[in-house]
């Protein structure tokens, strides 16, 4: 992982700040976006101030029954917001993982996510890249997660990115002890994750939108 200095980041900022939600993506020192380049040098991503960044599970400062990212991550951007404290919300994040085991574009785009046998993706063929997406979810006793697994196929690599929102079952709590994590709150958090995902770009072509924002 490489941390880009303010001067070197200026050309990339000009394209990234056009993304809604990333205008406020200042680093902790207030000098500019917290820009990172994934190992291998192909992908650039931004850590906004309302997200933490972990490169191994021990760095996750937010713990929950279903974690913000599966443990296979190379990078985990996990939400730090406190707006949903006191609800049945548990965690939210974006996992970034280089999939060196998926050695062909076909495997990268079409191989089901781990734990799934038959799951058809939606595939988009772009200019020098391709993206597929799988809607996924999982459940444990009293807990559930929803999200999307994306695969980005490049000539040089295959990347897997996953958005996830996890919560516990509201009806399992005694009445009046917590507030409900509502559908509206989940939709707002899904949009926040989409904004951060929208900031993932190719280092050599940062103007390309690999993951367009969903229609509101």
Does some domain include residue 33? no
Domains held by the chain: number: 1
Q: How far apart are CA 111 and CA 39, in angstroms?
A: 23
Question: What is d(CA 108, CA 100) in angstroms, rounded to the nearest whole number?
Answer: 9
pLDDT of residue 31: 47
Averaged pLDDT, groups of 10, the chain, 216 residues long: 38 47 49 84 96 92 88 96 94 97 97 88 96 86 91 97 95 90 96 98 96 86
Q: State the residue range of the domain holding 168.
A: 51-194
Residue 21: inside a domain: no
Q: Is residue 134 part of a domain?
A: yes
Is residue 3 a part of any domain in this protein?
no
DSSP line for 69-112: S-TT-SEEEEE---TTTTBSEEEEEEEEEE-TT--SHHHHHHSP
CA distance 55 to 115: 23
**What is the pLDDT at residue 150?**
98
pTM for this prediction: 0.86
- Distance, in Å, from the CA atom of 38 to the CA atom of 29, rounded to the nearest integer, reads 21
Burial of 14 (0-12, 13-18, 19+ CB in 10 A): exposed
What pLDDT is stored for residue 56 in this prediction?
A: 92
| Domain-located, residue 129 | yes
Going by C-alpha positions, the residue among 211, 190, 192, 209 that lies closest to residue 147 is 190
């Amino acid at each position: 992982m490489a941390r880009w200095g303010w001067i070197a980041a200026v050309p990339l900022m000009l394209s990234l700040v056009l993304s809604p939600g990333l205008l406020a993506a200042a680093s902790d020192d207030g000098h500019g976006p917290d820009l990172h380049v994934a190992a291998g040098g192909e992908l650039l991503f931004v850590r906004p101030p309302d997200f933490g960044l972990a490169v191994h599970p021990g760095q996750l400062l937010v713990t929950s029954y279903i974690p913000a990212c599966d443990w296979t991550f190379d990078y985990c951007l996990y939400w730090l917001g406190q707006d949903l404290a006191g609800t049945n919300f548990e965690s939210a994040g974006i996992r970034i993982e280089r999939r060196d085991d998926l050695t062909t574009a076909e495997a990268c785009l079409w191989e089901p996510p781990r734990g799934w046998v038959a799951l058809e993706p939606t595939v988009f063929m772009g200019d020098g890249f391709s993206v597929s997406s799988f809607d996924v979810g999982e459940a444990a006793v009293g807990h559930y997660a929803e999200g999307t697994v994306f695969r980005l196929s490049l000539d040089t690599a295959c990347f897997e990115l996953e958005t996830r929102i996890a919560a516990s079952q509201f009806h399992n709590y005694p009445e009046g002890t917590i507030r409900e994590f509502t559908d509206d709150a989940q939709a707002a958090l899904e949009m926040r994750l989409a904004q951060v995902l929208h900031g993932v770009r190719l280092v050599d072509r940062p103007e390309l939108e690999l993951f367009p924002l969903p229609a509101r």
